[in-house]
Structure 1
Amino acid sequence: MNNFDLHNPTRIVFGANTISRLDELVPATARVLILYGGESARRNGTLAEVRAALGQRDVREFGGIEPNPSYETLMRAVEQIRLEGLDFLLAVGGGSVIDGTKFVAAAVGYQGDPWEIMETHGATVRRAMAFGAVLTLPATGSEMNSGSVVSKKSTKAKLVFSSPHVFPRFSVLDPTKTFSLPLTQVANGVVDAFTHVMEQYMTYPADARVQDRFAEGLLQTLVEIGPQVLAEPSNYDARANLMWAATMALNGLIAAGVPEDWSTHMIGHELTALHGVDHARTLAIVLPANMQVRREAKRAKLLQYAERVWRITEGSEDQRIDEAIARTRAFFESLGVPTRLRDHDIGAHHIETVISQLEAHGMTALGERQDVTLETSRRILEAGL
């Protein structure tokens, strides 16, 4: 196991009817900006519930944060905060809203061009506004980590930043707030969480037995409850387990002391930026193709994954690996999530543009060994056709 530092300061308040606890979580004198996405949060009553919990505090709103939060939209929130003298942010939504809020928190007091935050992947962030979150869509784990993904419409760039200054102070996780979600979003959340685990697990053995077992348990849980959360939208226990699994998938715990990959995400980001494909749906395409193309480098972990997650113990090593990859693809497809580029009208003639974008954004040496070159990325995309 590798050396590691692990610190996560986010307070989690989990369970039904917990939004009312915002009154104790948000400072009594705070001037609050609620950030959210579309109008569903208003229609389903979540915004009203949040405002009621905030009581007599001075509360403003900023809506319209996109499923892939854009720099252009988020900078309007930054201007509102500066103009109105607000001092606390509250994200109400899924990972995109929370990601966007992290950028806003870092950008308000930033000295210089705020896009530098993304270009330096957060290295230039020295402080950020305090903020909390009310999670309504389990998927990204942004509610308990310090990472964020933001897009710039003008350049079709989708970049990642991370900073210890943008951990949420707290996150409220009420599984009942997921009951009204469209099933496509729920399915996307399962795929997103699954792939987050795989990016930290499907590398090479580091004798990190605790982390491996945690990761495998999360994967097994997602496989078990994935069909259930779609078939029984109001099943509290199923939704609660999905919400917590998605949070645990990316809060630093299973990444401690192990190598990490993230090439599936980096390739997927370019597909979203260029073609508008939902983030999770790019992952469902790229992950199985990535495992196939890089099967030799990942052989030991693929065999462990086959045995421990899918209970595949018979056949040659190559047969077991083939079956594990096939079952991964079949799992995604059983959720109604396609796993081929052609399912999104993306063909071989589009691949070179994706490669050009990867090169432009410095994604020329990806993966746990930094050996995923542009040519390897090209082969992965071709395997995903």
Structure 2
Amino acid sequence: MLNFELKNPTKIIFGKGEIAKISKEIIHNAKILMIFGGGSIKNNGVYDQVKDALKDHDLLEFGGVPANPEYEVLLEALHIIKENNITYLLAVGGGSVIDGVKFLSAAASYDGEPWEILKKPVRTLEGEGMPFGTILTLPATGSEMNSGYVISRRETKEKLSSGGPGLFPLFSVLDPEVVRSIPKKQIANGIADAYTHVLEQYMTAPSSADLQERIAESILISLQETAPKVMTEEFDYDAAGNFMWCCTMALNGLIQKGVITDWAVHAMGHELTAYFGIDHARTLAVIAPSHYRYNFETKKEKLAQYAERVWNITEGSTEEKAEMAIKKLEDFFHSLEIKTKLSDYTNDFQNTAERVEKAFIERNWVGLGENKNLTPQDAYKILEMSY
């Protein structure tokens, strides 16, 4: 097991009706800006619950943060923060809204051009970010219990990440009831996103960190077993709770400690979202199978372990089990009605590999993957395999 440090200060408030408790989590004299997305919280009852809980607080609102939170929109919120002397941020939404609030937390006291925080990137240390809490309405990214975020800039077609220990939410409310009103396509995206988060921390090489390995495999199995229950029309509170908690546990830092991690799938997937606007989770489903096939020799032992422990595939050689593992992964995405080829999403895919290679060269991204040895040229070949 590798050396590691673990500190996660986020308080989780889980369960039905728990939004009412946020008034006790935010100091009474705070000047709060509530930030949300397209307005679904006004239809599912969450907005009214928040307003009622904070009726005795000084509360302003900013809506309209889109999926893949856009830099240009967030600058409008940043202007409101500075003009109104906001002291506390409240994210009410999914990962996009929470990521946007993390950026605003970092940018509120940053002296330079805010985009520098992502371009350089600039890490936000403890005590540097504006305090914030979250109310999760769309399980997927795990942003409610970690300190990282990703922001898109339409003008330059970039999607970049940053973070730091100063960007953990102070609290996050997880009420499974919100899953009741989420469209099935978004639930499928959430499952695929969380599943791939686990794979990025697990699908590397066999590790001596047995507990982390077993927890990662348990999250994968739970997502597989929960998926058909939350994809049906009839709402199942227990299944919704398992789905929500799996998404949080997939990326709260626990399973990545003491092991090597990959994240090349995300690096390439972000480019597809920046270029084509494809849903983040679906870009991961496009890239992951090709990534594992391209890096088969270095990953085959872990792929075989995944086949054995997660899919109960015990027959065949290491190579045969590893190949079956990739097929099972694709089948799982397909069971969620998520397609796994770029050509399924756009007809303008022919030059994508070249564009990604060029972007990675310009950013000097020359060492992706768990071994830091994947080059922009490797990314080119993986993208070609994903067509």
Scaled by the length of structure 2, the TM-score of the pair is 0.97
Residues 42-121 of structure 1 aligned to structure 2 (within 5 Å): 42-121=42-121
Q: Which runs of 5+ in 2 are unaligned?
A: none
Query: Number of aligned pairs?
Result: 385
Q: Counterpart of 1:348 in 2: which secondary structure?
A: coil
> In the alignment, is the contact (CA less than 8 A) between 1:12 and 1:171 conserved in 2?
yes
Greater mean alpha carbon deviation, residues 2-11 or residues 155-164 = 155-164
Q: Which residue is 2:220 aligned to?
A: 219
Q: Once the 2 structures are TM-superposed, how far is the Cα of residue 232 of structure 1 from its aligned partner? A: 4.4
Q: Given residue 117 of structure 2, which amino acid in structure 1 is its aligned partner?
A: I
Q: Which runs of 5+ in 1 are unaligned?
A: none
Distance 1:36 1:348, change over 3 A: same
Q: Once the 2 structures are TM-superposed, how far is the Cα of residue 34 of structure 1 from its aligned partner? A: 0.4
Q: Which residue is 1:359 aligned to?
A: 361
The 4+ residue runs of structure 1 with deviation greater than 6 A are: none
Q: Counterpart of 1:158 in 2: which secondary structure?
A: strand
Separation in structure 2 between the aligned mates of residue 80 and residue 360 of structure 1, nearest angstrom: 34
Q: Once the 2 structures are TM-superposed, how far is the Cα of residue 124 of structure 1 from its aligned partner? A: 6.0
> In the alignment, is the contact (CA less than 8 A) between 2:356 and 2:376 conserved in 1?
no
Q: Which residue is 1:374 aligned to?
A: 376
Q: Given residue 36 of structure 1, which amino acid in structure 2 is its aligned partner?
A: F
Residues 128-147 of structure 1 aligned to structure 2 (within 5 Å): 128-147=129-148
Distance 1:132 1:341, change over 3 A: same
Q: Counterpart of 1:111 in 2: which secondary structure?
A: coil
Separation in structure 1 between the aligned mates of residue 60 and residue 250 of structure 2, nearest angstrom: 32
Q: Which residue is 2:351 aligned to?
A: 349
Q: Given residue 86 of structure 1, which amino acid in structure 2 is its aligned partner?
A: I
Separation in structure 1 between the aligned mates of residue 360 and residue 227 of structure 2, nearest angstrom: 32
> In the alignment, is the contact (CA less than 8 A) between 1:270 and 1:358 conserved in 2?
no
Greater mean alpha carbon deviation, residues 372-381 or residues 124-133 = 124-133
> In the alignment, is the contact (CA less than 8 A) between 1:14 and 1:174 conserved in 2?
yes
Q: Once the 2 structures are TM-superposed, how far is the Cα of residue 353 of structure 1 from its aligned partner? A: 1.5
Q: Once the 2 structures are TM-superposed, how far is the Cα of residue 42 of structure 1 from its aligned partner? A: 1.4
Q: Which residue is 1:151 aligned to?
A: 152
Q: Which residue is 2:339 aligned to?
A: 338
Q: Which residue is 2:37 aligned to?
A: 37
Q: Which residue is 1:123 aligned to?
A: 123
What's the CA shift string for 1:115-149, capped at 9, x where partnerless?
11102333366711000000000000000000000
Separation in structure 2 between the aligned mates of residue 186 and residue 46 of structure 1, nearest angstrom: 18
Q: Given residue 98 of structure 1, which amino acid in structure 2 is its aligned partner?
A: I
> In the alignment, is the contact (CA less than 8 A) between 2:124 and 2:165 conserved in 1?
no
> In the alignment, is the contact (CA less than 8 A) between 2:89 and 2:101 conserved in 1?
yes
Q: Sequence identity, in percent?
A: 48
Greater mean alpha carbon deviation, residues 234-243 or residues 352-361 = 352-361
Q: Which residue is 1:288 aligned to?
A: 289
What's the CA shift string for 1:307-328, capped at 9, x where partnerless?
1011111122222111110010
Separation in structure 1 between the aligned mates of residue 349 and residue 103 of structure 2, nearest angstrom: 34
Q: Counterpart of 1:55 in 2: which secondary structure?
A: coil
> In the alignment, is the contact (CA less than 8 A) between 1:266 and 1:363 conserved in 2?
no
> In the alignment, is the contact (CA less than 8 A) between 1:148 and 1:161 conserved in 2?
yes
Q: Given residue 123 of structure 1, which amino acid in structure 2 is its aligned partner?
A: R
Scaled by the length of structure 1, the TM-score of the pair is 0.98
> In the alignment, is the contact (CA less than 8 A) between 1:138 and 1:246 conserved in 2?
yes
Separation in structure 2 between the aligned mates of residue 301 and residue 368 of structure 1, nearest angstrom: 13
Q: Once the 2 structures are TM-superposed, how far is the Cα of residue 233 of structure 1 from its aligned partner? A: 4.8
